[in-house]
Structure 1
Amino acid sequence: MTFVQLIDCKTSNVDQLNRLMDDWVVATQGKRTATHAIVGRDRSDSTHVVEIVEFPSHEEAMKNSNLPETNRIFEEMVAACDGMPTFTDLDVVRDEQLNKLLCQRFFDEVVNNNNPDLADELCTADYREHDPSLSSYDMDLTQAKREKGEITDAFSPRITVEDMIAEGDTVTCRLTFQGKHTGAYQGMEPTNKDVSGTGHATFRCKDGRIAEAWWNWDNLGLLRQLGVFEA
């Protein structure tokens, strides 16, 4: 279970805390078990600072706490604070990354359930698509739906999201796909061959919708499977 520790302190020297964080990151390289750290300052009180540190589990957090480098930095942190920091230990019981849910829904319903019109709901009105396999590297949603529809008609592809990583307003996905060439594709008549391959997609989200997307597919591998090129 993911574990989060909140370190709450008062200090008039936030810059010193940031320097200590930098020192800790360098000193614990190859040893630390923390996966994510955030330092925030209270808008209503500039001396109130909260550090949020995430770990894979409470057990991993304890390993991190026992590092001599962590103890040293903590002592220096206490010296930089106006009093002893307080700690809140949290077992994460729910972690909803909403942009990831949005992008997963796009794959599940728009692509795998062949419901392209749902993209009008999931994407912004000024959506832009970038895909070197299409006729233009910069196109609007209407054109993207039309050209992606030709691919769907030709292969009835099913996409599996192997990995999905979100940071800020950006979501990046590692993909695999399977399909069968049962329709015309770029002038090629159906071969009835099974095809598969890999790809990546990166989405920029805005206000709960997808505003921009970048796609990359192994098109050369696809054409080889169709017999256009020799392996």
Structure 2
Amino acid sequence: MVGSAVADTRRLAASGSARCYRQILHGKDDYPLQGLIMTAESNKLLMSRFVEFINTADETLANELVAADALFYAPIRPDPLIGPRGYIEILGMMRSGFPDIQWTLEEMVAENDTVAARFTMCGTHEAPFFGVPAGGKKIQVQAVNFYRFQNGKIVAERGQPDLLTLLKQIGAISD
């Protein structure tokens, strides 16, 4: 993934769009994204920064990458969570049961303002989760999410983690 992002950045820099991509990869505030037309390729680069955010829950990255009014639809709630705080709430819910959880971006496809991403979530069940007491079991679960970008920020996400597999892996339900 990293090698791919570097190659994409070099190619895009050669096309004259380097300013936007340096900001995406390095988070430099001296290259504002507001008003720039974001391409599918630049949105894919933003996803690399987003993975850093979800693996650290860094509030600075949250504010950099997530629009204040972004909507996050999760299968565990009837109403969307909103903005950077809403996304940090999702991460907090996952970390409450799996303090060491990490996401790996396995693949993504981008078109216009939308990125489809497949992740693998890995962690250890060290605290109660959905009412299931900690069992110390390792999880490895897939998730497919769709993100919509606008002005260099995520404005919507529809997440579909494989909750059935997760619940099986922690012993909440049997095979």
1:152 Cα shift? Answer: 1.7
| Moved segments of 4+, more than 6 Å | none
- TM-score, scaled relative to structure 2: 0.72
Q: Which runs of 5+ in 2 are unaligned?
A: 1-9, 13-20, 22-40
1:171 aligns with 115
2:25 aligns with none
CA contact (8 A) 2:132 2:172 kept: no
Task: Give, in whole Å, the separation in 2 of the partners of 1:171 and 1:123.
Answer: 14
Q: Secondary structure at the match of 2:71?
A: strand
Provide the aligned C-alpha RMSD in A. Answer: 1.9
Q: Secondary structure at the match of 2:69?
A: strand
Counterparts in 2 of 1:148 and 1:113: CA distance versus 1, 3 Å: closer
1:164 Cα shift? Answer: 1.0
**1:94 pairs with 2:38:** no
1:167 Cα shift? Answer: 0.7
Q: Secondary structure at the match of 1:94?
A: helix
CA contact (8 A) 2:67 2:153 kept: yes
The partner residue of 1:209 within 135, 153, 156 is 153
Q: Secondary structure at the match of 1:119?
A: helix
1:112 aligns with 55
Counterparts in 2 of 1:148 and 1:112: CA distance versus 1, 3 Å: closer
Task: Give, in whole Å, the separation in 2 of the partners of 1:201 and 1:116.
Answer: 21
Task: Give, in whole Å, the separation in 2 of the partners of 1:117 and 1:224.
Answer: 35
Q: AA paired with 1:193?
A: K
Task: Give, in whole Å, the separation in 2 of the partners of 1:220 and 1:116.
Answer: 30
Q: Which moved more, 1:188-197 or 1:110-119?
A: 110-119
Paired residues for 1:61-210 under 5 Å:
94-95=11-12, 97-107=41-51, 109-133=52-76, 135-141=77-83, 142-155=85-98, 156-210=100-154
Counterparts in 2 of 1:161 and 1:147: CA distance versus 1, 3 Å: closer
Q: Secondary structure at the match of 2:92?
A: helix
Q: Which runs of 5+ in 1 are unaligned?
A: 1-92
**Higher Cα radius of gyration:** 1
More helix by share: 2
Higher relative contact order (CA 8 A, sep 6+): 2
- TM-score, scaled relative to structure 1: 0.55
CA offsets 1:76-111 (integer angstroms, 9 cap, x no match): xxxxxxxxxxxxxxxxx604621111122111x212
Counterparts in 2 of 1:185 and 1:140: CA distance versus 1, 3 Å: same
1:221 Cα shift? Answer: 0.7
